Amino acid sequence: MTTYLRQARTSASQQVAPFTGEGAYHGSTRPRVEPLREAPAPPLVDELRPRTLEQYAAEGRRDIAEFEAVFPNHHAVVETLPIPTQEAIQSDGVSFCWCPIDDAIREAGPLTRSVLEAMRAHVGGGKRHVYIDSKIQYFAPGDVPVDSQHWHVDGSIVARDERARRLGHALLHDMRARLQAPALGPRYLAYQSSGHCATLFATAPVTLTLPELIPNFDELDRRVRALAPPAVAQPPGSIVRFDGLSLHRAVAATDAGWRLWVRCVETDRMVTPDASIIACYGKVYRTPT
Ligand SMILES: [Fe+2]
């Protein structure tokens, strides 16, 4: 298991791929390449239990119903740190992927460590795991930090199994299950060093009609965009708190430059990332100019 990567970075060595919009949020909606050796399934915890899908399977239902989804969009800036220099970001050295927070604090470069120590004071507790993801990325104008600009939530309840296939999909997000038991969901803190490529967060509750089970975030994105809720770009140097029902989306960089992004996840889900993930975790996605 590899949860961190130490490497020298230059703008020339930044990994770049064409932007497709097809996914690559945490829990990509792309079909997965099957691992060579099946890893043992982690224990099913209430946070990730697809209760709606379980009900569909038990009743033999084949049609996905819609429901009224209310996203409270909890979002708050909890602290603002000094904005680091571009040099400090570039030279920080270590990035993380599902790394336990204590390990991350031990291995981090000076800038990331200062962010993690600030974040640790805001960890609420009560979840089994506290993981750190981080990226040190160099953006050209128009680059996107992930391969999607869709409105979405993090840590959705995902099923990739026979129950989903019976409904015609390789993967389904059980949106109703998360919305009916929001307190069970994951909690997040996120930091961004810079304002030139800032995540957009919805800042007011959003109510919309949504299929109970969705194969990707396309439909959710369409319906949120139609409502155009008030939203705010994450301020540079800030740590924001949000949860598993906070709508947000990536935006393209407006200027060239380095950005450190750090996310702290409090979750009951045990994650053991594949060693191949971290090597391409900081890739940026280039939109056509
Ligand atoms: Fe996200």
Mean pLDDT of 118-146: 96
pLDDT at 162: 95
CB 26 within 8 A of CB 173: no
Could you read off the pLDDT of 175-194 as tens digits, one per residue? Answer: 999 999 988 999 999 999 99
Mean pLDDT of 70-78: 97
pLDDT at 40: 67
Decide if pLDDT at 281 tops 90: no
Read off the tokens for 139. Answer: 């953006």
DSSP states along the chain: ---EEE----GGG--EEE---S--SSS-SSPPPPPSSPPPPPPP-GGG--HHHHHHHHHT--SPPEEEEEE---EEEEEEPPPPPHHHHHT--EEESSEEHHHHHHH--HHHHHHHHHHHTT----SSEEEEEEEEEEE-TTEESSS----B-SS--EE-SHHHHHTT-S-EEEHHHHHH-GGGS-EEEEEES-SSS--EEE-S-EEEEEESEESSSHHHHHHHHHH---EEEPPTTEEEEEETT--EE----SS-EEEEEEEEEEES------HHHHHTTT-EEEPP-
Read off the tokens for 177. Answer: 């299950």
DSSP states along 57-82: HHHT--SPPEEEEEE---EEEEEEPP
pLDDT at 76: 97
Sign of CA dihedral 123, 127, 128, 129: negative
Decide if pLDDT at 250 tops 60: yes
* Residue 121 CB burial class (10 angstroms; 0-12, 13-18, ≥19): exposed
CA of 61 to the centre of ligand 1 (A): 31
pLDDT at 47: 96
CA of 60 to the centre of ligand 1 (A): 32
Decide if pLDDT at 39 tops 90: no
- Would you say how long the chain is, in residues? 289
The model carries a pTM of: 0.92
Mean pLDDT of 14-19: 93
Read off the tokens for 231. Answer: 């939203």
CA of 251 to the centre of ligand 1 (A): 11
pLDDT at 36: 42
Decide if pLDDT at 263 tops 90: yes
Decide if pLDDT at 53 tops 90: yes
pLDDT at 27: 43
pLDDT at 1: 60
CA of 224 to the centre of ligand 1 (A): 15
Mean pLDDT of 81-90: 97
CA of 55 to the centre of ligand 1 (A): 28
* 83 against 277, higher pLDDT: 83
Ion ligand 1, residue ranges at CB < 5 A = 154
CA of 144 to the centre of ligand 1 (A): 13
CA of 71 to the centre of ligand 1 (A): 15
Decide if pLDDT at 231 tops 90: yes
Mean pLDDT of 153-163: 96
pLDDT at 31: 46
- Looking at the chain, the whole-number percentage of residues with pLDDT higher than 70 is 93
